[in-house]
Amino acid sequence: MRGFLNGRFENTTFCLIGPDGKERLSRSGRGPNHIFGNDLVDSLGKIAKKYKAKGKVSDAAVPDFPTFRLGLNVSSADQRVLVLVTGTEEEIKSARKTLPALSNESEVIGKFHYDFETDSKTWTKALTGDKSTSQIKIIIPDEYGQKGKIVKSLPLDIKTEDLKKALLEANETFTKTIEKKNYNTHVQEGRRQGIKWTMPMEFGEDRDGDGKIDHRGGPRR
């Protein structure tokens, strides 16, 4: 992140990178609006035409979180339903091959977060509901991603059309009953409740590029 922001470390960084993961396809900055302004859609379209997909979109891997705890927290922050796939190493390996076709469908893509877990100890304490393993679980996260409710448990070998129906129904119910979060009031209430989230990377920004995190707000140098 420092490399993209001329030595600074800030909480957002944007830059388009080529398929090799190295070539810069755009300038870098805090966000896409700093680079493309009002021409974002057209600019992305022009760049994308130069890099045609070599495989099928339906074969694209299902995104997975490094830990269930992080997946639950992000799902709450993004206000998305979390799909937890539990099972043995072989069962998970098989699910990774069958789920991409569904997760990349136009009606489904972008509406859910996914997490694959082989160790039940990583998720059972944080959830209520059916905690049987070797299943696909549809989870509604709580307000701050501390807990979650399993609203439906499905077999790993469920038919694709049945799983799709269950996911879309859960998402529809969730979106109808959840209120969009207001950042300021959400943060204030979280602080009042003493809720904290510790990441591996130290919280804060190094706006002046001196190599030290600035924990207090203030003008950027």
Residue 152 domain flag: yes
Residue 220 domain flag: no
Of 162, 177, 192, the last residue of a domain is 177
- For residues 104 and 68, membership in a common domain is answered with yes
Q: Are strands 135-141 and 81-86 parallel, antiparallel or unpaired?
A: antiparallel
Q: Are 178 and 142 in contact (CB under 8 A)?
A: no
Residue 164: which CATH number?
3.40.30.10
- For residues 66 and 132, membership in a common domain is answered with yes
For the chain, the domain total comes to 2
Residue 209 domain flag: no
Q: Report pLDDT digits (tens) over 182-202.
A: 989 999 999 999 998 887 777
Give the range among 6-15, 72-81, 207-216 with minimum mean pLDDT.
207-216
Of 14, 36, 52, the last residue of a domain is 52
How buried is 188 (Cβ within 10 angstroms: 0-12 exposed, 13-18 middle, 19+ buried)? exposed
- For residues 44 and 139, membership in a common domain is answered with no
- For residues 67 and 150, membership in a common domain is answered with yes
* Structural domain span for residue 44: 1-52
What's the whole-model pTM score? 0.82
Residue 203 domain flag: no
Q: Report pLDDT digits (tens) over 140-186.
A: 999 999 999 999 999 999 999 999 999 999 999 999 999 999 989 99
Q: Report pLDDT digits (tens) over 83-98.
A: 999 999 999 999 999 9
- For residues 19 and 114, membership in a common domain is answered with no
Give the range among 68-82, 127-141, 206-220 with minimum mean pLDDT.
206-220
